[in-house]
Amino acid sequence: MNIDELKQKAVQIRMDVLRMIHHAKTGHTGSSLSNTDILTALYYKVMRVDASRPKWEERDRFIASKGHAVESLYCILADRGFFPKEELATFSRYGSRLIGHPNNKVPGVEMNTGALGHGLSIAVGMAKAAKMDGRPYRVYTLMGDGEQAEGSVWEAAMAGAHYKLDNLIGIIDRNKLQISGSTEEVMGLEPLEDKWATFGWHVVAVNGNDMAELVEALQAAPQAAGKPTLIMAYTTKGKGVSFAENVPHWHHHVPSDAELNLAMDELTQHMREIAGGRV
């Protein structure tokens, strides 16, 4: 896909996310909208994955450390053909495998995640295994910025640098909001880029809602031999829906019928703008 096609795909995924959460009457709306561009760049442009072979040994691995924002991941996996799109209607229903955090019974999901702070540790182990086995795959993990207050993140950061895991790419969805408010009010993180660099990572800062910047940064990794890469993706929580953007309440707010209709109208207009009025 070219950049405009990726932008259109991200809009479609946002629409799918909102419909799924509205139907289920539960979900983490703001977080999934903020990370949609990141996941779209990964799954439609950057990562080597094959829906017909979800356990292909040479596949790139993705760990959703920010596990509560699973809705966008499920929608993308369904769109890529890992499981039928009709199954999205079962999200968070009794007996469904599409539960509220990543579930490795779902094709394309590598690990159960959700306890914040664990994803990077898992990714370090996978990247180390690839080095030991001489395999070419890369390991990507998406973390939340509120998650950076977890001590296990920094233990894993040290290990990734110590073992020179340049096949490891960490991404932080830096939307500066968490469930209880601003990250800087809850637990100050800055200077976050400098901290990761001090821990031995090659740090790249991008606009995490700019598809061209994301693709360029992800495709260029690693830029420093022998160093893991940390992509600081500055995003907007609730991105794509004007009345949800940067509103803490939308962390896990379920859109009403009226809000869903308004959001669909906004996203449809955005799709038209990307396509030059042809949609």
For 31-79, how does the pLDDT look when each residue is reduced to its tens digit (9 = 90+)? 999 999 999 999 999 999 999 999 999 999 999 999 999 999 999 999 9
For 90-103, how does the pLDDT look when each residue is reduced to its tens digit (9 = 90+)? 999 999 999 999 99
Q: Is 111 helix (H, G, I), strand (E, B) or coil?
A: coil
3-274 maps to which CATH number?
3.40.50.970
Residue 70 to residue 101: CA distance in whole angstroms: 6
Buried b (16+ CB within 10 A) or exposed e, 132-160: eeeeebbbbbbbbbbbbbbeebbebbebb
**pLDDT in the model for residue 251:** 87
Query: Is the pLDDT score of 25 beyond 60?
Result: yes
Token output for 136: 């070419």
- pTM of the entire structure? 0.95
Average pLDDT of the chain to the nearest whole number = 94
Residue type, 218: L
**pLDDT in the model for residue 45:** 98
Residue 266 to residue 249: CA distance in whole angstroms: 20
* Lateral strand order in the sheet of 139-144: 61-64, 139-144, 168-174, 229-234, 202-207
> Are 48 and 58 spatial neighbours (Cβ–Cβ below 8 Å)?
yes
Residue 193 to residue 81: CA distance in whole angstroms: 36
More confident residue, 116 or 240: 240
Residue 164 to residue 162: CA distance in whole angstroms: 5
Region 8-27: mean pLDDT is 97
For 120-158, how does the pLDDT look when each residue is reduced to its tens digit (9 = 90+)? 999 999 999 999 999 999 999 999 999 999 999 999 999
For 207-225, how does the pLDDT look when each residue is reduced to its tens digit (9 = 90+)? 999 999 999 999 999 999 9
Where are the domains positioned within the chain? 3-274
For 165-224, how does the pLDDT look when each residue is reduced to its tens digit (9 = 90+)? 999 999 999 988 777 777 787 788 889 999 999 999 999 999 999 999 999 999 999 999
**pLDDT in the model for residue 117:** 85
**pLDDT in the model for residue 277:** 57
Query: Is the pLDDT score of 279 beyond 60?
Result: no
Quickly state the pLDDT bin for 278 (edges 50, 70, 90). low
